[in-house]
Structure 1
Amino acid sequence: MILKPFRPLAYAARVPLAIFLVAMLAGCFGGSNKPQPAELQPLAALVSARQSWSSRIGQVNFPLDVNVSGNSVAVASGDGTVALLDAQTGRDLWRLDLKTPIAAGVGGDGKVLAVVTKANEVVAMQDGRELWRQKLKAQAFTAPFVAGARVFVLAADRSVNAFDGQTGRKLWTQQRPSEPLVLRQSGVMLAVGDTLVVGLAGRLAGLNPSNGSIQWEAPIASPRGINDVERLVDLVGRVSRVGNNVCVRAFQASVGCVDAARGSLLWSKPAQGVQGISGDDRLLFGTEADGTVVAWRRSDGERAWSSDKLRYRSLSAPLVAGQSVVIGDATGFVHLLSREDGSLLNRLSTDGSAIAAAPVLAGNTLVALTHNGGVYGFKPE
């Protein structure tokens, strides 16, 4: 695990213990005893798909969320380029160079897109032009959440900030006590009805989006261990939501589901993954740190199946698409597994660099993005 000192500008003088950022455990199995990735066996495609287009955005070296709105996808590169692409053709709808490195993004509501820069600025864009920039007091690694004409930002000091979507005027800030360690990885923010649901350490919290007041909290995981590293708990994206039922992963600790209407924990089960989860009304899907793909029953968290066919291949968070569970790996392959039993259905190739963000579905196009900046659209045959 890599520890990197980090002192938010407004907090270094007030917090007795400096805040640290913990890098995602991509190197959990590093060193001379690193297990070898599972060898990919010849595969007869049981689900047909073809690459229909490709584009480029630039190297992705930050926790990227690909934002989907209708038939368009928003992507970004670490050097500051943001692009909105037509998911049917891959062509640019617009492209903007922010001229500053990006730390988190992309959030959007179909009109306004937003990112956070490494200079701790929230930047909002619309129709290929910059609307506004606002300074944060701490870095952020979670894509801004844009909804209700507002832009919400979860920062590394556990603060939640709300801005007017058109003007950038700050509306409110909710500040929680900050733990000594936070993950350098995308966290959790989504809307459930009229509630803003946010991951704060190992808890899901329901906030009033108008003023930031906390309406409820539900624990997914609790700190454990004897030092700050062992006691680190954080919720990671992506998230599976069906109605008021919201299911999330706590980094290397557990998977759990919450009733977001009542703010009550439904269940929580031990799990060792580092990426978010996906699901439907019956099953949840996730990848464990060793590359085991697991399906849990949404109703009670019991395991439905697991597959070790992709072990140690540094897997992305999954996507449910049709009858498939779609997962990217560190060598640029996109794997399609059966939702029913985890059997391999197809394997799609990109440019050979790691899949840098969880795959997304825009209309009938599966979109995958690589560390080297390749953007690929696949369609069923």
Structure 2
Amino acid sequence: MTRSIRSKSMVKKTVMNAAILALMTTAVVGCNRGIKPVVNDPVKLVQIAQPISVLQPVFNVDVGNKKASKKDPLSLQVGFDNGQIVTASRGGDLLGFDSTGQRLWSVNVGDEITGGVAVDAFSQTAIVTTRNGQVLAFDSTTGAKRWQQQLSGSVLTPALITNNRVILSANDGFLHGLVLQSGQSVWQFATQVPAISIRGTAAPTLLDDKTALLATADGRLHAITTDSGLPQWSRRIGVGTGSSEVERMSDVDGKPIVDGDQLFAISYSGQLLGIDLASKQVMYINELASLKSLAVNNQQVIATSLDGKVIAYDRNSGEMLWESNELAYRKLTNPVMIGNYIAIGDLDGVVHLFNPATGAIVSRVQTKGALTTLQSDNNRLLAQSTTGQASIWQLAR
């Protein structure tokens, strides 16, 4: 294991290195430029000397993934809210479970599901999207279909359900606001689409009670009112440089994190930003490239880099606190906080639990298939692998 305390100046990467590295493992929308980078083998895991028990399994179920592809490993996230759990398979199966993992219902939507599941327990609604740009709403307790709506492009991330709106970010650069009860389109917001970008979009999130925050392929964050889609402000996060379109890619594919009066975001082109929302001033910019969301706790911002580093920064100053190379080139997921630990998944379905104070791996759990995204809620960790294994763990007491 490699861990160190270092200054910000020692974490600089060139944009070109970040671009070449990401192309090893990520689909790019646009023409093929013939780049053939050297592929680094994932490091082998080192046995934990004195592992501790952090997570206990709640349930694990194979939801199916008949049309999975190693070249196109879409991230189908588990939908959950207040004990309601809904999972989806690439082949179009949608399954509802209770909090113990007991299956309640299943339906097939008739097309490939691409955007994962969003669940709203208050309205008892589950939202999914398909390859052909369909948005479908189901009763999350029975599986009964409520409505469907056609969008201009496909959606690759779960919707945001808030304030009687279903907010989606499509792969063609359009942001959509639909009525939760009927699916009627209320507003659309167009963003710039680069000639070449990473396939995928960041899931929309809430900035405040009335404002959604959406990240786009042109490296920007857009704050938009949820009810009418009116733009409030826009800020560039990713800044690509170079002579080619590949070098200038600046996608923000990791969902921005809003925590208290601070906003954190990271881009593919190598910028990690901390922003003070009260003053609307940038607190710091660190040079780190990632396509994954960040995690935050009271003292830290934690990131997983394109080449498999795990790095913790001071959330207020941006100073690097520690760095771990133990999972280099293992195609890491986003980090999430679960209790007092940092959870990160990898290409073998292993979830690694880090001590945030030291950067040491202290525990592991495993599922089947590569992991692309982790989620946490109420001391539970949720994951769905590219082979269709949906897993939930509970923080050990």
Q: TM-score range by the shorter chain?
A: 0.7 to 0.9
Matched, 1:70 2:85: no
- Unmatched tracts of structure 1, length 5 or more: 7-19, 23-27
In 2, Cα distance between equivalents of 1:75 and 1:29: 36
C-alpha separation in 2, matches of 1:119 and 1:21: 22
Q: In the alignment, which of 124, 133, 144 is matched to residue 148 of structure 2?
A: 133
Partner of 1:208: 225
Residue 118 (1) aligns with residue 131 (2): yes
Q: Is the 8 Å Cα contact of residues 133 and 155 (structure 2) preserved in structure 1?
A: yes
| Residue aligned with 1:336, SS | strand
Find the counterpart in structure 1 of residue 360 from structure 2.
Answer: 343
Q: Alpha carbons of 1:315 and 1:43: their partners in 2 closer, same or farther (altered >3 Å)? A: farther
Q: Does 1:355 align with 2:371?
A: yes
Comparing 331-340 with 42-51, greater Cα deviation is found at 42-51
Structure ranking higher in strand proportion: 1
Q: What are the superposed Cα offsets for residues 61-100 of structure 1, whole Å, 9 maximum, x if unpaired? A: 423233331233332111112223334x212243321121
Q: TM-score, normalised by structure 2?
A: 0.83
* In 2, Cα distance between equivalents of 1:296 and 1:105: 30
Tell me which residue corresponds to 1:243.
260
TM-score scaled by structure 1?
0.86
Q: Which residue of 2 aligns with 1:12?
A: none
The answer as to 2:98 corresponding to 1:86 is yes
Provide the secondary structure at the position in 1 that maps to 2:221.
Answer: strand
CA-atom RMSD in angstroms? 2.5
Asked if 1 retains the 8 angstrom alpha-carbon contact of 2:48 and 2:361, the reply is no
The structural deviation recorded for 1:265 is: 3.3
Return the offset for 1:150.
1.0
Q: What is the number of equivalent residue pairs in this alignment?
A: 359
Write out aligned runs for 1:100-111 (5 A). Answer: 100-110=111-121, 111=124
Instruction: Check the 8 A contact 2:308/2:329 in 1, yes or no.
Output: yes
**Displacement after TM superposition at 1:335 (Å):** 0.7
**Distance in 2 between residues matched to 1:341 and 1:165, nearest whole Å:** 44
- What does the per-residue CA deviation read over 1:298-325, in whole Å, with 9 as the maximum and x for residues that have no partner? 1122211111111121111111011110
Q: Deviations over 1:80-121 (max 9, x none)?
A: 12223334x212243321121012122232222212200111
Aligned to 1:237, what secondary structure does the other structure show? coil
- Distance across 2 between alignment mates of 1:208 and 1:48: 40
Q: Is the 8 A contact 2:88 2:94 kept in 1?
A: yes
Aligned to 2:337: 320
Which of 180, 189, 200 is the aligned partner of 1:165? 180
SS at match of 1:236: coil
Determine whether 1:54 maps to 2:60.
yes
Of stretches 158-167 and 99-108 in structure 1, the one that deviates more from structure 2 is: 99-108
CA contact (8 A) 2:338 2:379 kept: no
* CA contact 2:76–2:384 (8 Å) conserved in 1: no
Mark the CA change 1:368 to 1:208 in structure 2 (over 3 Å): closer, same or farther.
closer
CA, structure 1 residues 39+271, in 2 after alignment: closer, same or farther (shift >3 Å)?
same
**Greater Cα shift, 128-137 or 328-337:** 128-137
Contact 2:170 2:201 in 1 (8 A): no
Identity rate of aligned residues, in percent? 23
The structural deviation recorded for 1:157 is 2.3
Match of 1:198? 214
Partner in structure 1 of residue 109 of structure 2: 98
Query: Do structure 1's residue 269 and structure 2's residue 286 form an aligned pair?
Result: yes
Whole-Å separation in 2 of the counterparts to 1:83 and 1:264: 44
Partners in 2 of 1:29 and 1:371 — Cα distance?
Answer: 25
Aligned to 1:224: 241
CA distances 1:119-155 after superposition (whole Å, capped 9, x unpaired): 1111122231222111111222222211111111111
Matched, 1:39 2:39: no
Indicate if the aligned counterparts of 2:28 and 2:196 stay in contact, CA closer than 8 A. no
